[in-house]
A and B are shown apart, each in its own frame.
Chain A
Amino acid sequence: MYPKLKELGVEVLSMSTDSRFTHKIWNETELSKMVEGGIPYPMLSDQGGRIGTVYGVYDEAAGVDIRGRFIIDPDGVLQAMEVLTPTVGRNPNELLRQVQAYQHVRSTGGAEVTPSGWTPGETTLKVGPDLVGRVWEVWKP
Chain B
Amino acid sequence: MTMARVGKPAPDFEASAYIVGEGFKNVKLSDYRGQWVVLCFYPGDFTFV
Chain A residues near B (Cβ < 8 Å) = 5, 8-24, 26-27, 30, 37-46, 50-57, 62, 64-81, 86-90, 95, 99, 102-103
List which B19-49 residues lie within 8 A (CB) of chain A: 19-20, 24, 27, 29-30, 32-47, 49
Quick check: B49 and A87 within 8 Å, CB to CB? Answer: yes
Q: A68-B40, A77-B8, A81-B4 are in contact. Are A20 and B24 (CB under 8 A)?
A: yes
Quick check: B10 and A76 within 8 Å, CB to CB? Answer: yes
Number of interface residues of B (CB under 8 A): 40
A residues near B38, Cβ cutoff 8 Å: 5, 10-13, 69-72, 95, 99
What number of A-B contacts does a CB cutoff of 8 Å give? Answer: 175
A residues near B27, Cβ cutoff 8 Å: 13, 42, 44
In the complex, per-residue mask of B8-24: 1 if CB is within 8 Å of any chain A CB, else 0: 11111101111110001
Quick check: B45 and A78 within 8 Å, CB to CB? Answer: no
Residue of B nearest to A41 (CB): B19
Q: Which 5 A-B pairs have the closest CB atoms?
A: A65-B41, A26-B45, A23-B18, A78-B10, A44-B15
A residues near B5, Cβ cutoff 8 Å: 78
- In the bound complex, what is the Cα–Cα distance between A38 and B43 (angstroms)? 19
